[in-house]
Structure 1
């Protein structure tokens, strides 16, 4: 794996921006400047990903992305009751930031060059990988073992196609409407494996009804650098979020959140990534 580090010029720019931030804010009530940070802050998350971003039946929210967003918001000056979590689907993330519907997005948002043309990113705050979820007694140990077996993924996902193209061309692909349907098919034996990001798989496997039934294969079929999306050009907010993420790691809150949300699935997470370093 190659590491793409920020240049010296970029690092200097960050220092200058932080210095400017220390001298004064821009007065935006959602910028998080000072105590209280304004009336509220809107943060985009997923509502349907256990372990990452999930809206519970009682209206509360849980998951690693939620924990990261809550910590960052606090560092920006917002208490939990000042956070408004907004459901932000993958296809609408860039538009939601551009329209100003949300201030930040923490929603399994992989940092890519294409996306960086439209939004800015703080982070990364998690390095995930495409993986397989299998039954605990499965004999699948490599992606090539999927040849002749049934592989499930959600309709429209590229994950299963990547497996067929690069590792197991003879895998039998089954597409379902959602990950929950794939989990049910895996549990019943209708499919042999489910594929997507390991963080998403771990979140589902950690649910109470699935504990001990599934495991991650532990493969690293891709690198997914999750970042916090910020409106293009909002350098001040990017710098503040980066500082909050660094503090979350240094004070142990990051590791605590990883263990709480993914631990039951035996998720072997990578170490916390360094700000500005993208693993290719």
Structure 2
């Protein structure tokens, strides 16, 4: 080589002003992206569905220490209070299931007795005074009339039908409500069965509590009791040791009167629509989660065992009615904000369930 080779040229180093401008442009781009992200999040938050935590705040449950639930106390199998003050029954199990999904352990739930005529107003008895409960889970059938009067119902959680209860020694058949013409019948004062019975010629008397009607039947003051099969079946299938609010019990018979309509029980949350949505969210998860057996366990424990004594009447449908799907927003960070599942919410589960539609009721 006759000539010296020139050194290879290195990468060009931009002037300091160019470097500064590029960094400024990158920072500006990042700022624009952050602002746009915040704006999009605000739009989605304002226009999209609420989070579960939003619903808890709207329902007034965030930070609440105790949940008040109005329940029946004289309906064996549905809701009954024992001499020690403890409650048991299908409604009780459903109430505690919903409460658990709302974040309330059993020790943070107060169950208060409520009469039928007070269920719309959510006025339950607390000793010698009345208080407004957060929700009512008290064999409360969903009807349009009750909605007009101020009830706000959740999706249904049980499907049953009307039936007739008589003494087993009464050999007069009851195939329909028409067979009660001229007979003395007791039903609840708020029951939609009352006007139908009067129109059919029955001699109707009303009571505030179904146990009072059953006591009248035992004492010979009436010939039959008319209300929902799920309520009456508990009096037919009496188990030794069950707490009873009636005396002089006698063998009973439940009649299938061939009514096509369904009685669908719902939870009344009054004007608290956010709480209604949370209840529906709990029922929807119960109805659709294949590992959730809480509803089935409650049915088996409280109602299924009553069926053999109640034949040919079906006590209640052994599938949870279809529940309303509640749209909630679930961001990746939402799992940080929500508390982990409490131990009392974990249980073995299963099951697809059936549908129903509202009719009239207890």
The TM tier, using the shorter chain, reads 0.7 to 0.9
Aligned position for 2:227: 196
Query: Partners in 1 of 2:82 and 2:316 — Cα distance?
Result: 25
Structure 2 counterpart of 1:62:
88
Decide whether the 8 Å contact of 1:182 with 1:194 is kept in 2.
yes
Of 136, 139, 151, 1:119 maps to 151
- How far off its partner does 1:216 sit? 2.2
| Structure 1 residue 191, shift from structure 2 partner | 4.4
Residue segments in structure 2 that go unaligned for 5+ positions in a row: 1-45, 124-129, 308-313, 325-355
Which of structures 1 and 2 has the bigger CA Rg?
Answer: 2
Partner of 1:152: 186
TM-superposed deviation, 1:185:
4.6
- Tell me what 1:272 maps to: 320
CA 146–48 in structure 1, closer or farther in 2 if over 3 Å, else same? same
Q: Secondary structure at the match of 1:216?
A: strand
Q: Compute the displacement of 1:127 (Å).
A: 2.0
Structure 2 vs 1, CA of residues 269 and 94 (structure 1 numbering), >3 Å: closer, same or farther? closer
Secondary structure, aligned partner of 2:279 = helix
Distance 2:47 2:83 in 1: 42
Structure with the larger strand share: 1
Deviates more, 1:171-180 or 1:258-267: 171-180
* 1:227 and 2:269 are equivalent in the alignment: no
- Report the CA distance shift for 1:87/1:151 in structure 2 as closer, same or farther (over 3 A): closer
Who is 2:197 aligned against?
A: 163
Q: After superposition, what is the alpha-carbon deviation per residue over 1:95-149, rounded to whole angstroms, capped at 9, x for unaligned?
A: 337x982211111222222332423221111123221113456452412333454
CA distance in 2, matches of 1:206, 1:19: 46
Change in CA separation of 1:94 and 1:157 when aligned onto 2, cut-off 3 Å: closer
Matching residue of 2:274: 236
- Per the normalisation by structure 1, the TM-score is 0.75
Judged with a 3 Å threshold, the aligned counterparts in structure 2 of structure 1 residues 102 and 255 are, in CA distance, closer, same or farther, namely same
Pick from 285, 299, 302: which aligns with 1:261?
A: 302
Instruction: Give yes or no for contact 2:197–2:204 (8 Å, CA) kept in 1.
Output: no
Contact 1:43 1:86 in 2 (8 A): yes
Alignment of 1:14-163 (within 5 A): 19-22=49-52, 24-25=54-55, 27=57, 31=61, 38-96=64-122, 101-117=132-148, 118-136=150-168, 138=171, 140-143=173-176, 144-154=178-188, 159-163=193-197
Q: Deviations over 1:8-45 (max 9, x none)?
A: xxxxxxxx9993124645546952x5xxx631111111
Distance 1:94 1:279 in 2: 17
Question: CA 1:223–1:242 in 2, change beyond 3 Å: closer, same or farther?
Answer: same
Q: Are the structure 2 counterparts of residues 57 and 150 from structure 1 closer, same or farther at C-alpha, using a change threshold of 3 Å? A: same
* TM-score normalised by structure 2 residue count: 0.60
Give the unaligned 5+ runs of structure 1. 1-15
1:217-252 C-alpha deviation (Å, 9 max, x unpaired): 1235453221111132x3332222112123334523
How far off its partner does 1:85 sit?
1.2
SS at match of 2:315: coil
Q: Give the match for residue 8 of structure 1.
A: none
- Aligned to 2:152, the other structure's residue is in SS state strand
For the residue of structure 2 that corresponds to 1:231, the secondary structure is: coil
Structure-2 separation of matches of 1:150 and 1:219: 17
Q: Which has the higher contact order (CA 8 A, sep 6+)?
A: 1
1:9 corresponds in structure 2 to none
